[in-house]
């Protein structure tokens, strides 16, 4: 992997929109295979952070290092080709294509088909097999030929994850994967995410504390554009700075719930 | 994007293979016994071959030749509009400039250039591609509204240039050529129109097949993805700009072939072949035919020639009628004729089309009444404006009308309003029936899924 041994590193990352600085010197170093949940109050800059890492916005200053290579100046598709994929908070699908086609689109680049127009899709056995496999993984194999726009909300969320992991990226960012789901749906969905991201470096933005503690090895707390804590869940719970800034009440509730259960 | 109706049997077959052959990669093979596809392409070849034997008059052979040209042009336009979501207002730039280059090529052949005349459309194709490489780089930097604006700008620019550079564009009179030049191959001189028709038919067939094949390739599918959601495309490894640019160049190539075919057919190129009116016609008729299905533009192209050749003979107000039809299509059937066909085929596949016959007859009847009334008024206005010397009397559909008389106007308005009211009433009843049938079909699909 990289010389530094980290899958993803943020070094003094800053982003300002006009005069307002949203990300104010964020530092983070994620090891390969770690599952990190990024939490923080509304407006802390969680989504902005994802947009910076995935190349949607360029940072004002600072470095983003993916597997030892700096990527902060690259376009989203270049970053994706280097092995980083992301999902979106609002499902971002190819609405008029079928489930299978959606997944195959996600697969094509990673299988080296690029912009080719001299090959038939039906002959691309590796890409088709991979798309079929993904469809089973996200449990949409019964909806193979249904257009993405005709899926239920939960199915669309699953397809969103499917497209994200389709290219086989080893660093995966999930932006509120369970947003808008019911409790029972969320539980099943977390299992699904666990299954499909085995062995990958995972970063998620989450509001649901159940999801956070269920999914993450480590928690990064983002407050006003800075990472004020990055540690194992228990250590973050105990961190006085975190409790003061944001988490105290939420964590206390969660612990109380745990104690009862 | 498939040209084929998804018949129930093929759908069931697809489902059963999907569940049965999870381990066998062979199921991704291009299904060798795709009977429907085979039948449709065979029919297409047959129609191209037989049409001039059925419609033998010189007018119909001329029209058939023009239809071939229009089919290639509209299909290439739809590569942008329907498949890539790129609304171009300047597609005639690529067909038209290719026409000019092809005319010059014909003249060069007359001067001794050793290219067979039958390859002139390919020269056009290369020219179209060249200009698409040139202008497309700027155009495809943007999508959506900016894309449309840039195409409009380039269209105006090229049209203005056509009057500024008479050496290439021939000024007001255009450039002429003679297609009966070079060596005749096996006695084929391309003098008679029928020989030209068959050459154009071959180009039409090959180009249609090639453009359909394009929809089945990785780039073709990513072009659909760019249409649906350009943002997401950027996050799965593709540059949307690059996808649009390459597709634009390929569309330019086929547009260029259409331009070369035009040159062979008409042996003249004037400034109007690169003009905005022609670009507008491609847009309008591709939309009418249906941009959401591959075969839609073929229907549109046929209608285009019918409208330009026949409707324009029939009435001076033909552009006005065309505008009205376009308006109604955008409002009531934004998927064009192709989507109407596919929706009804779906209803037919579930055996429910019979229930709609009465409603369809009623819709057509009331629409005709409304149209007759409106057309009478339009024709009276045109008559007053264009033929004042002939007096106020005219005949419309055999009915004597007095364009200055109150009776005629009252009658026409009355017919129109009655037609409109009846049409609206039937439309509501039809809407209910249609909705009910769609619900039943959805239920049926869910039932089959549960099995």
Distance between CA A242 and CA A245 in Å, rounded? 5
Q: Is residue A2 part of a domain?
A: no
What is the DSSP secondary structure assignment for residue A253, as one 8-state letter?
H
Q: Look-up: residue for tokens 């228990």?
A: A234
Residues of A in contact with B239 (CB under 8 A): 75, 77
Contact at 8 Å (CB) between B226 and B243? yes
Cα angle B236, B237, B243; round to 5: 105
Distance CA A6, CA A70 (A): 12
Q: How far apart, in whole angstroms, are the C-alpha atoms of residue A159 and residue A99? A: 7
- In order of A150, A159, A215, B320, the CA distances from B219 in angstroms are 24, 21, 37, 39
Residues in chain B closer than 8 A to A128 (CB atoms)? 25, 28
Cβ–Cβ below 8 Å for B218 and A121: yes
Local confidence pLDDT in tens for the 451 residues of chain B: 344 443 434 433 333 333 333 333 334 444 455 788 889 999 999 999 999 999 999 999 999 999 999 999 999 999 999 999 999 999 999 999 999 999 999 999 999 888 899 999 999 999 999 999 999 999 999 999 999 999 999 999 999 998 899 999 998 889 999 998 877 777 788 889 999 999 999 999 999 999 999 999 999 999 999 999 999 999 999 999 999 999 999 999 999 999 999 999 999 999 999 999 999 999 999 999 999 999 999 999 999 999 999 888 888 888 888 888 888 888 888 899 999 999 999 899 888 888 898 999 999 999 999 989 998 998 888 888 887 787 788 888 888 888 888 888 999 999 999 999 999 999 999 999 999 999 999 898 888 877 7
Residue B144 CB contacts under 8 Å (≥ 6 apart), including other chains: none
Question: Which residues from A are below 8 Å from B when comparing CB atoms?
Answer: 54, 75-77, 80-81, 85-86, 88, 92-97, 101, 104-106, 108-110, 113-125, 128-129, 132, 141-142, 144-145, 163, 166-167
CATH number of the domain where residue A135 is located: 3.40.50.300
Position B154 scores a pLDDT of 96
Residue B25 with chain A: CB contacts under 8 Å: 125, 128-129
Spell out which residues of chain B touch residue A93, defining contact as CB-CB under 8 Å: 228-229, 232
Indicate yes or no: pTM above 0.95.
Answer: no
| CA B224 – CA B242 distance, rounded (Å) | 14
- Tell whether A196 is covered by a domain: yes
Domain ranges, residue A95: 8-260
Contact A55, A71 (CB under 8 A): yes
Other beta carbons within 10 angstroms of residue B48's beta carbon come to 21
**Residues of chain A neighbouring B220 (CB-CB closer than 8 A):** 117, 121
Distances (CA, A) of A8 to A32, A143, A160, A233, B380: 8, 35, 22, 20, 76
End-to-end alpha-carbon separation of chain A, Å? 42
Segments making up each domain of chain B, as ranges:
8-19+33-333, 350-450
- Give rounded-to-5 percent helix, strand, coil for chain A: 45, 25, 35
Count CB-CB contacts under 10 A for residue B422. Answer: 17
Selected residue of A53, A56, A96 to mutate for chain B interface (largest B Cβ count, 10 A): A96
- Is A147 domain-assigned? yes
Q: Which residues of chain A have pLDDT under 70?
A: 1-4, 246-261
Chain A CA closest to residue B236: A106
- Give backbone dihedrals phi and psi of B346, rounded to 5 degrees, phi first: -65, -45
Whole-angstrom distance, CA of residue A157 vs CA of residue A155? 5
Is there a contact between A77 and B221 if contact means CB atoms under 8 Å apart? Answer: no
Q: How many domains does chain A have?
A: 1
What pLDDT, on a 0 to 100 scale, did the predictor assign at position B96?
A: 97
pLDDT at residue A1, rounded to an integer = 45
Residues of A within 8 A of B18 (CB-CB) are 141, 144
Q: Which residues pair with B147 in a beta bridge?
A: none
State the smallest CA–CA distance between residue B66 and chain A in angstroms.
29
B29 with A122: Cβ contact below 8 A: yes
- Looking at 3.30.70, 1.10.3910, 3.30.9, 1.10.3470, the CATH number of the domain B8-19+33-333 comes to 1.10.3470
> How many angstroms separate the CA atoms of B39 and B344, rounded?
20
């Amino acid at each position: 992997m990289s010389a530094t041994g980290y899958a993803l590193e943020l070094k003094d990352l800053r982003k300002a929109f006009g005069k307002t600085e949203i990300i104010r010197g964020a530092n983070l170093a994620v090891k390969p295979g770690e599952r990190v949940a990024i939490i923080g109050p509304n407006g802390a800059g969680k989504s902005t952070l994802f947009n910076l890492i995935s190349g949607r916005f360029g940072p004002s200053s600072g470095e983003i290092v993916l597997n030892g290579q700096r990527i902060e100046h690259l376009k989203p598709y270049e970053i994706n080709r280097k092995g980083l994929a992301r999902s979106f908070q609002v499902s971002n699908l190819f609405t008029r294509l079928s489930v299978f086609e959606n997944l195959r689109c996600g697969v094509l680049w990673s299988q080296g088909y690029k912009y080719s127009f001299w090959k038939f899709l039906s002959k691309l056995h590796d890409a088709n097999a991979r798309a079929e496999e993904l469809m089973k993984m996200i449990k949409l194999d019964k909806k193979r030929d249904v257009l993405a726009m005709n899926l239920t909300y939960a199915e669309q969320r699953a397809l969103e994850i499917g497209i994200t992991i389709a290219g086989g990226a080893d660093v995966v960012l999930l932006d509120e994967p369970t947003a808008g789901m019911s409790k029972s749906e969320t539980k099943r969905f977390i299992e699904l995410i666990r299954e499909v991201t085995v062995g990958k470096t995972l970063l998620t933005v989450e509001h649901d504390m159940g999801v956070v503690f269920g999914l993450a090895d480590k928690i990064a707390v983002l407050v006003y554009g800075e990472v004020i804590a990055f540690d194992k869940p228990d250590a973050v719970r105990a961190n006085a700075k975190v409790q003061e800034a944001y988490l105290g009440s939420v964590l206390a509730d969660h612990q109380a719930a745990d104690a009862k259960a | 994007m498939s040209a084929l109706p998804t018949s129930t049997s093929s759908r069931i077959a697809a489902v059963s293979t999907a569940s049965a052959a999870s381990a066998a990669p062979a199921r991704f093979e291009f299904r060798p016994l795709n009977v429907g596809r085979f039948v449709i392409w065979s029919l297409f070849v047959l129609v191209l071959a037989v049409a001039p034997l059925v419609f033998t008059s010189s007018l119909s052979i001329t029209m058939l030749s023009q239809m071939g040209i229009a089919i290639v042009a509209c299909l290439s336009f739809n590569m942008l509009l329907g498949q890539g979501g790129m609304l171009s207002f300047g597609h005639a730039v690529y067909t038209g400039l290719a026409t000019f280059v092809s005319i010059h090529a014909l003249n060069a052949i007359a001067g001794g250039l050793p290219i067979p005349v039958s390859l002139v459309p390919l020269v056009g194709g290369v020219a179209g591609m060249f200009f698409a490489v040139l202008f497309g780089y700027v155009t495809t930097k943007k999508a959506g509204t900016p894309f449309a604006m840039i195409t409009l700008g380039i269209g105006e620019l090229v049209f203005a240039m056509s009057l500024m550079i008479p050496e290439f564009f021939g000024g007001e009179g255009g450039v002429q050529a003679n297609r009966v030049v070079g060596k005749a191959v096996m006695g084929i001189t391309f003098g008679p129109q029928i020989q030209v028709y068959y050459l154009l038919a071959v180009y039409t067939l090959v180009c249609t097949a090639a453009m359909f094949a394009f929809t089945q390739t990785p780039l073709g599918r990513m072009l659909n993805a760019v249409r649906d959601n350009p943002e997401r495309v950027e996050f799965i490894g593709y540059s949307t700009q690059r996808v649009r640019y390459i597709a634009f160049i390929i569309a330019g190539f086929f547009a260029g072939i259409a331009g070369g075919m035009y040159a062979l057919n008409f042996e003249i190129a004037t400034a109007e072949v690169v003009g905005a009116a022609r670009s507008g016609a491609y847009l309008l008729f591709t939309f009418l035919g249906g941009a959401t299905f591959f075969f839609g533009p073929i229907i549109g192209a046929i209608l285009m020639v019918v409208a330009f050749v026949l409707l324009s003979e029939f009435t001076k107000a033909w552009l006005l009628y065309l505008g009205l039809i376009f308006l109604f299509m955008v409002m009531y059937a934004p998927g064009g004729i192709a989507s109407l066909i596919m929706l009804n085929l779906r209803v037919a596949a579930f055996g429910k089309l019979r229930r709609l016959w009465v409603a369809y007859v009623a819709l057509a009847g009331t629409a005709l009444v409304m149209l007759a009334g409106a057309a009478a008024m339009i024709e009276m206005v045109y008559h007053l404006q264009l033929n004042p010397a002939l007096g106020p009397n005219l005949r419309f559909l055999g009915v004597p009308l007095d364009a200055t008389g109150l009776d005629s106007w009252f009658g026409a308005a009355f017919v129109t309003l009655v037609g409109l009211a009846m049409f609206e009433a039937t439309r509501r009843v039809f809407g209910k029936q249609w909705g009910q049938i769609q619900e039943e079909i959805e239920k049926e699909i869910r039932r089959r899924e549960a099995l």
